[in-house]
Amino acid sequence: MSFVWLGRIALMLAGMSAVYTAAGGFYAYKTGNTRLRESVRGAALAVAFTITIAVLALEYLLVTGDFSVSAVYETTNRGLPLAYRLAALWGGDAGSVLFWTWILSLYTAYVAGVGWRQERHLTRLAVPILGTLLVFFTGMATLVVSPFGIVPGSPINGSGLDPLLQNPVMTIHPPAMYTGLIGLSVPFAFFMSGLWQNAETREWIGVVRRWMLFAWMCLSAAIVLGGWWSYMELGWGGYWKWDPVENASLLPWLAATAALHLMQAEERRGLYRLWTSIMMMASFLLTLVATYITRSGVIKDSVHSFAGTGVGPYFFGLFWFGLFATVAVIVVRRRQVMDTVTLDRMLSREGLYYLMAFALTVMTVVVLFGTFYPVITGALTGTQRVLQVGFFNTMTAPLFLVLIALLVLAPVATWRSVRYRELVQKLRWPWIVAVAGAVAAFFWGARAPLLLLGDFLAVFAIAATVRAFTEMARVRARATGEDLGTALWRGVRANRRRYGGFVAHLAFLIIVLGVIGSHTGNTSVIRRFQVGQTETVGPYRVTYAGLATVNHSAYETNEARLIVNGGGFHNRLFTPGINIFPGSSEPVAQVSIVGNLARDLYTVLGSYTAGGTVVQVQFLVNPLVSWIWIGMFIMVFGTLIAQGGPSRPRRRLVPGVSESVERVPLRERRDEA
């Protein structure tokens, strides 16, 4: 049997198993048939097994170069390196749908297999919900995109992978993005299961939070990795331009972030239940909107979408089906989503969650409107009008400043209310550090009021967070006799949810400082060189040593050799160039970037004469950009810490009980995320 037929048969078996998982699961739930429920569990595992076979079959065809298969012909060629042949699985439309299906099947198998006994009450309905999604995706992979379709004419070579995708980051970014987007299906399924079964909050909120946090972590990393790819590959010196596909990934992230914070108030106080339900629903449905934006071609102003592939209408239909189904469940179970208590004071931890969620919700609406504005204007006037970067910056910058300001209070806020005197005392030293940070930013080059305010608030929030860590360590050390390092380590282990959240907040603030810094004191100049000529660029002295042609397995590069001295460099070689791919009409920039924590020197080859006697090079000095990538790694680390916290909520606070227990090490609270 050929690998093409092996993949086709595996997909058909997966589709049948998915239908059984969905239909049998719902019937087993209705009838209470435990034997049928166990068989549904086996069917979910069978879907993952058969889809894995299909993925391995396609990977074999990609690696061996069977160009008679359409998914291989469209994404690879003979000169493509092995790593990119493997990554071509998600580099094309058909392969990426199969990859999406595979990840969803692994999630479902884990929920059905490992989580079945742990969350039996919720899983009996969550599995068929995920099975319904599997029916859709296996149907797409089998009937619509056909990853094992045959190309007529038996070609001996393929079209090759898009040159822009031949970057090491693109071997990581799409899997992280898919894992995050698809992962939001799991907390949604558990939430809908708990809601439909009238389950108590404590029965579903722990598992929903755990899955939501994992998906959020993957999606956060994927968004930053996408910016990293854009920074290294597109040659424009930036990392975020409010491209529709960038916005598509940001939308579910914003909704999921709001849902995570609202769940804390729901878990502890019984607040914001309806709002939590809406944002849970939105975080999942916006993953379908993101896929529709990426694959429908309805928004053409994007540099990295699967434009016009034909699968967009199917995701459009799935979105409306999911919207009607979830709204119907919320309406039927509306008594379950009504708050049992009211907000006491806005200056409290639950008040902060309210304001954070409000800012994130407004931001979600703004980005959604701005992204679909071309579609709206196209439908109304017949001409698509695209909102420029300035619209998004103007509308979202104040909301981001609100979020940063709230993070100043997050480390010291307590439930129900905050004592003003205690608040002032705890924020005294962070405020002094923030003023010093703003002064330093001013002398660094920040003159715009929003940049200065953003820097002040970010440093303020970082200092307040660091103070919370050190204060916790000091209090515990005094009570237990431990040294500060041991006290800090054991305190974090005992309060993983709370302090893991603080680390994630700290990472976000580091990213914010990187963003602010990259817009402060950045310069861009263009210089023309003759061989041997030296030019000054800021603190750097750059000498042009000539043009060289470098042959690679799949392309060739014409690169300028630049020797840089000064600014921390000594005879440092930069090699900006132009990559020329066979069969591609557009050359691709090879950016040369070298930097440190303070700044990057970013070089792009613009043009050159025959023989390279004269070249034109663009130089960009980008401060603090590396802080953005460092913040991503810290965010993943902090989320993993919070992920290890307990999934069962504590008893809600009794009115009138003092919150000073937060400062007593022997009663450290374990779920204060």
Q: Per-residue pLDDT tens for 535-544?
A: 999 889 999 9
Highest mean pLDDT of the ranges 30-39, 355-364, 498-507: 355-364
Q: If you write DSSP's letter for every residue of 189-200 in order, what string do you get?
A: HHHHHHHHTT--
* CA–CA gap between residue 130 and residue 478 (Å, rounded): 50
Q: Per-residue pLDDT tens for 548-559?
A: 999 887 789 999
Phi then psi for residue 309, to 5 deg, are -85, -15
Q: What is the mean pLDDT of residues 161-175?
A: 87
Q: Mean pLDDT lowest for which of 21-30, 140-149, 292-301?
A: 292-301
Q: CA-CA distances (angstroms) from residue 598 to 235, 444, 522, 594, 601? A: 21, 11, 11, 11, 10
Of the chain, the percentage scoring pLDDT greater than 70 comes to: 93
Higher pLDDT, 208 or 382: 208
Q: What is the mean pLDDT of residues 595-610?
A: 91
pLDDT band for position 577 (50/70/90)? Answer: very high
pLDDT band for position 98 (50/70/90)? Answer: very high
pLDDT band for position 656 (50/70/90)? Answer: very low
pLDDT band for position 299 (50/70/90)? Answer: low
The closest alpha carbon to 515, from 617, 610, 604, 630, belongs to 630
Q: Which pLDDT value is given to residue 587?
A: 85
Q: Per-residue pLDDT tens for 385-403?
A: 888 899 999 999 999 999 9
Q: What is the mean pLDDT of residues 558-581?
A: 93
pTM: 0.91
Q: Which pLDDT value is given to residue 267?
A: 86
Q: Per-residue pLDDT tens for 35-84?
A: 998 999 999 999 999 999 999 999 999 999 999 999 999 888 888 889 89
Q: If you write DSSP's letter for every residue of 121-152 in order, what string do you get?
A: HHHHHHHHHHHHHHHHHHHIIIIIS-TT-B-T
Contact between 621 and 527 (Cβ < 8 Å) = no
Interior angle at CA 491, CA 493 and CA 456, nearest 5 = 105
* CA–CA gap between residue 544 and residue 203 (Å, rounded): 67
Question: What residue type is 254 in one-letter code?
Answer: L
pLDDT of residue 665 exceeding 50: no
Token pair of 459, please? 């440093």
pLDDT of residue 234 exceeding 90: no
Highest mean pLDDT of the ranges 55-59, 313-317, 451-455, 647-651: 55-59
Helix (H, G, I), strand (E, B) or coil at 101: helix
Q: Mean pLDDT lowest for which of 10-24, 157-171, 615-629?
A: 157-171
The closest alpha carbon to 357, from 288, 273, 466, 450, belongs to 273
Q: Which pLDDT value is given to residue 398?
A: 93
Contact between 212 and 187 (Cβ < 8 Å) = yes
The closest alpha carbon to 89, from 104, 69, 75, 68, belongs to 75
* CA–CA gap between residue 524 and residue 622 (Å, rounded): 9
* CA–CA gap between residue 326 and residue 66 (Å, rounded): 43
pLDDT band for position 646 (50/70/90)? Answer: low
Q: Which pLDDT value is given to residue 448?
A: 82
Q: Which pLDDT value is given to residue 648?
A: 52
Mean pLDDT over all residues of the chain? 87
Higher pLDDT, 52 or 478: 52
pLDDT of residue 157 exceeding 90: no
Contact between 233 and 164 (Cβ < 8 Å) = yes
Q: CA-CA distances (angstroms) from residue 465 to 411, 427, 493, 506, 538? A: 6, 10, 17, 7, 36
Q: Which pLDDT value is given to residue 117?
A: 63
pLDDT band for position 105 (50/70/90)? Answer: very high
